Amino acid sequence: MAAVDLTTHPGHLARRLQQAHYLLWNTMVSEEITSPQFAVLNALVAEPGLDQRTVGERVGLDRSTIAEVISRLGRRGLLDKVRDPQDGRRFLLRLTDEGLRTHRKLTVRTARMNQVFLAPLSAEEQSLFFELIRRVADAAEGLRNPAEPAAAPR
């Protein structure tokens, strides 16, 4: 009787959206490489030689998760990991040729998948979809890193 309607719960919707995406990715893009793994490859195409922590920041993965993802990509021979000679704490990451090839191949398939995924929305609705989700996610992330920009202390 006191039960709630989950279809008005953003968390529940977000989970369902992600599940739906996961399934489509699996059938249309790759069964080997996951979406987060592709995000890492993509970050290293944009900025080769990044360290692990920074890659994680770029794609939104925490220190533990990025370590696992990178170790899997390393095992598959898609990237190399070398100690930074300037700073012995860091590992510098760089895609192998195989990693670059994989990224190229998946980029094409991902574009196709995104079209199918977003097909139920018109072009304007798609921009709105992106914007609304981004605003909510950004705001929620902001709640964690309490103030740092703006508002100079007097």
Partner DNA sequence: GCAAATTAATCAGGGCACTGAGTATTTCAG
Partner DNA sequence: CTGAAATACTCAGTGCCCTGATTAATTTGC
Provide the binding-site residues for DNA, judged by CB under 7 A.
Answer: 15, 18-19, 22-23, 26, 34, 36-37, 51-54, 61-65, 67-72, 87-91
Residue corresponding to tokens 């992600």: 18
- Contact between 52 and 93 under an 8 Å Cβ cutoff? The reply is yes
- Contact between 120 and 24 under an 8 Å Cβ cutoff? The reply is no
Residues in the chain: 154
Residue 117 touches a second copy, criterion: CB under 8 A: yes
- Say how far apart CA 50 and CA 56 lie, in whole Å: 10
- Say how far apart CA 9 and CA 1 lie, in whole Å: 18
Residues 9-68 that bind a second copy (CB under 8 A): 9-25, 35-36, 39, 42-43, 45-46, 59-60
Residue 141 touches a second copy, criterion: CB under 8 A: yes
Residues forming the site for a second copy (CB under 8 A): 1-4, 6-25, 35-36, 39, 42-43, 45-46, 59-60, 103-104, 107, 110, 114, 116-121, 125, 128-130, 132-141, 143-144
